[in-house]
Amino acid sequence: MNTQTHIIPTAEAIKGLALAIENPDQKTTQEGRLAYMRIAYEDFKDPKMHDCFFAFGKDQFQDAIKAHHLEDALKQGRIRSGGAGLYGTAEGLRRLHEDLGRREVEQRIALTAAAVTPQDCYLAEYDNYECMFDWDGDLRALRRVAFWFGADSCRRIRRKGYNGITVEQFINKNL
Protein backbone atom coordinates (compact mmCIF):
# COMPACT_ATOMS: atom_id res chain seq x y z
CA MET A 1 0.00 0.00 0.00
CA ASN A 2 1.39 3.38 -1.01
CA THR A 3 1.09 5.91 1.83
CA GLN A 4 2.98 8.66 0.05
CA THR A 5 1.22 12.02 0.26
CA HIS A 6 1.15 14.26 -2.78
CA ILE A 7 1.24 17.97 -2.22
CA ILE A 8 -0.31 20.12 -4.92
CA PRO A 9 1.39 23.53 -5.01
CA THR A 10 -0.73 26.64 -5.20
CA ALA A 11 -0.57 28.95 -8.20
CA GLU A 12 1.19 31.51 -5.99
CA ALA A 13 3.89 29.00 -5.01
CA ILE A 14 4.43 28.02 -8.64
CA LYS A 15 4.75 31.70 -9.59
CA GLY A 16 7.32 32.19 -6.80
CA LEU A 17 9.33 29.22 -7.97
CA ALA A 18 9.18 30.46 -11.56
CA LEU A 19 10.61 33.79 -10.43
CA ALA A 20 13.47 31.90 -8.81
CA ILE A 21 14.60 30.35 -12.09
CA GLU A 22 17.93 31.74 -13.17
CA ASN A 23 17.79 34.66 -15.56
CA PRO A 24 20.52 34.08 -18.18
CA ASP A 25 21.65 37.71 -18.20
CA GLN A 26 22.14 37.62 -14.41
CA LYS A 27 25.68 36.28 -14.18
CA THR A 28 27.40 36.27 -10.82
CA THR A 29 30.98 35.66 -9.90
CA GLN A 30 32.93 35.13 -6.73
CA GLU A 31 34.73 38.39 -7.55
CA GLY A 32 31.41 40.24 -7.67
CA ARG A 33 30.35 38.87 -4.28
CA LEU A 34 33.70 39.78 -2.74
CA ALA A 35 33.58 43.27 -4.29
CA TYR A 36 30.11 43.78 -2.83
CA MET A 37 31.18 42.73 0.68
CA ARG A 38 34.30 44.91 0.51
CA ILE A 39 32.33 47.98 -0.58
CA ALA A 40 29.35 47.43 1.72
CA TYR A 41 31.26 46.50 4.87
CA GLU A 42 35.00 47.12 4.70
CA ASP A 43 35.97 50.09 2.53
CA PHE A 44 33.62 52.41 4.37
CA LYS A 45 34.42 51.83 8.02
CA ASP A 46 33.00 53.66 10.98
CA PRO A 47 32.15 57.30 10.30
CA LYS A 48 33.57 60.15 12.37
CA MET A 49 31.22 60.47 15.31
CA HIS A 50 31.21 64.31 15.65
CA ASP A 51 30.38 64.65 19.37
CA CYS A 52 28.16 61.56 19.21
CA PHE A 53 28.30 58.21 20.96
CA PHE A 54 26.31 55.07 21.60
CA ALA A 55 25.21 54.15 25.13
CA PHE A 56 22.84 51.46 26.35
CA GLY A 57 22.57 52.21 30.03
CA LYS A 58 23.27 54.92 32.59
CA ASP A 59 26.84 53.76 33.26
CA GLN A 60 27.73 53.64 29.57
CA PHE A 61 26.11 57.05 29.08
CA GLN A 62 28.16 58.65 31.89
CA ASP A 63 31.37 56.94 30.70
CA ALA A 64 30.80 58.15 27.13
CA ILE A 65 30.08 61.72 28.28
CA LYS A 66 33.45 61.73 30.06
CA ALA A 67 35.33 59.99 27.22
CA HIS A 68 34.04 62.49 24.64
CA HIS A 69 34.48 65.50 26.94
CA LEU A 70 30.80 66.48 26.71
CA GLU A 71 30.26 67.32 30.39
CA ASP A 72 29.56 70.98 29.61
CA ALA A 73 27.10 70.07 26.85
CA LEU A 74 25.27 67.77 29.27
CA LYS A 75 25.07 70.49 31.95
CA GLN A 76 23.73 72.94 29.37
CA GLY A 77 21.11 70.42 28.19
CA ARG A 78 22.54 70.19 24.68
CA ILE A 79 22.75 66.38 24.53
CA ARG A 80 20.04 64.90 22.31
CA SER A 81 18.95 61.34 21.57
CA GLY A 82 19.40 60.16 18.01
CA GLY A 83 17.45 56.97 18.66
CA ALA A 84 18.67 53.37 19.01
CA GLY A 85 21.19 54.28 21.70
CA LEU A 86 22.78 57.17 19.76
CA TYR A 87 23.38 60.41 21.67
CA GLY A 88 25.14 63.65 20.86
CA THR A 89 24.84 67.36 20.42
CA ALA A 90 22.35 68.58 17.82
CA GLU A 91 25.21 69.76 15.61
CA GLY A 92 27.06 66.46 16.06
CA LEU A 93 24.00 64.41 15.13
CA ARG A 94 23.39 66.57 12.05
CA ARG A 95 27.00 66.19 10.88
CA LEU A 96 26.95 62.43 11.52
CA HIS A 97 23.81 62.02 9.38
CA GLU A 98 25.36 64.13 6.62
CA ASP A 99 28.48 61.93 6.66
CA LEU A 100 26.38 58.77 6.55
CA GLY A 101 24.43 60.16 3.58
CA ARG A 102 27.66 60.98 1.73
CA ARG A 103 29.01 57.54 2.55
CA GLU A 104 25.91 55.87 1.09
CA VAL A 105 26.28 57.85 -2.15
CA GLU A 106 29.97 56.90 -2.35
CA GLN A 107 29.09 53.24 -1.77
CA ARG A 108 26.47 53.30 -4.54
CA ILE A 109 29.02 54.81 -6.95
CA ALA A 110 31.60 52.19 -5.94
CA LEU A 111 29.08 49.35 -6.44
CA THR A 112 28.33 50.64 -9.94
CA ALA A 113 32.02 51.08 -10.77
CA ALA A 114 32.80 47.54 -9.60
CA ALA A 115 29.95 46.18 -11.77
CA VAL A 116 28.37 44.47 -8.77
CA THR A 117 25.05 42.90 -9.73
CA PRO A 118 21.94 42.49 -7.58
CA GLN A 119 22.59 38.73 -7.70
CA ASP A 120 26.08 39.29 -6.23
CA CYS A 121 24.52 41.34 -3.44
CA TYR A 122 21.82 38.72 -2.79
CA LEU A 123 24.26 35.80 -2.59
CA ALA A 124 26.68 37.67 -0.36
CA GLU A 125 23.93 38.81 2.03
CA TYR A 126 22.23 35.39 1.97
CA ASP A 127 25.44 33.95 3.41
CA ASN A 128 26.19 36.97 5.60
CA TYR A 129 22.78 36.83 7.31
CA GLU A 130 22.83 33.01 7.34
CA CYS A 131 19.42 33.01 5.68
CA MET A 132 19.52 29.23 5.34
CA PHE A 133 18.83 29.08 9.10
CA ASP A 134 16.51 32.09 9.36
CA TRP A 135 12.78 31.65 9.99
CA ASP A 136 12.16 34.42 7.47
CA GLY A 137 14.17 32.66 4.78
CA ASP A 138 15.90 35.08 2.45
CA LEU A 139 13.93 38.23 3.34
CA ARG A 140 16.93 40.00 4.87
CA ALA A 141 19.00 39.35 1.74
CA LEU A 142 16.13 40.66 -0.43
CA ARG A 143 15.92 43.78 1.75
CA ARG A 144 19.59 44.54 1.10
CA VAL A 145 19.12 44.08 -2.66
CA ALA A 146 16.12 46.42 -2.54
CA PHE A 147 18.13 48.95 -0.50
CA TRP A 148 21.11 49.07 -2.86
CA PHE A 149 19.53 48.34 -6.25
CA GLY A 150 15.80 49.06 -5.87
CA ALA A 151 12.87 46.75 -5.26
CA ASP A 152 12.35 46.00 -8.95
CA SER A 153 15.80 44.40 -9.16
CA CYS A 154 14.57 41.71 -6.76
CA ARG A 155 12.47 40.29 -9.60
CA ARG A 156 15.64 39.19 -11.42
CA ILE A 157 17.19 37.40 -8.44
CA ARG A 158 17.72 33.66 -8.53
CA ARG A 159 16.69 32.89 -4.97
CA LYS A 160 18.38 30.22 -2.87
CA GLY A 161 15.91 30.05 0.00
CA TYR A 162 12.29 30.21 -1.00
CA ASN A 163 10.20 30.82 2.12
CA GLY A 164 6.68 30.94 0.72
CA ILE A 165 6.79 34.68 0.05
CA THR A 166 7.02 35.66 -3.58
CA VAL A 167 9.05 38.63 -4.72
CA GLU A 168 5.81 40.37 -5.70
CA GLN A 169 4.51 39.97 -2.14
CA PHE A 170 7.84 41.29 -0.84
CA ILE A 171 7.64 44.35 -3.08
CA ASN A 172 3.92 45.04 -2.62
CA LYS A 173 3.85 44.56 1.15
CA ASN A 174 7.23 46.26 1.66
CA LEU A 175 8.38 43.46 3.98
How sure is the predictor about 38, in pLDDT bands with cuts at 50, 70 and 90? confident
**Residue 157: is its pLDDT beyond 80?**
yes
Output 47 or 19, whichever has higher pLDDT: 47
- Report whether 154 contacts 142 (CB < 8 A): yes
Q: What was the pLDDT predicted at 99?
A: 87
For 111-121, write each residue's pLDDT tens digit: 888 888 999 99
Cα radius of gyration (the chain): 22
Give dist(CA 121, CA 26) in Å, integer.
12
Length of the chain: 175
Strands 79-83 and 52-54: unpaired
More confident call, 11 vs 31: 31
Instruction: Give the pLDDT score at 159.
Output: 87
Q: What pLDDT shows up at residue 162?
A: 67
Domain ranges of the chain: 9-28+117-175, 46-114
116 Rama sector, left if φ>0, alpha if ψ -120 to 50, beta otherwise: beta
Residue 168 in this model has a pLDDT that exceeds 50: yes
pTM: 0.64
Mean pLDDT comparison of 26-40, 43-57, 94-108, highest-scoring range: 94-108
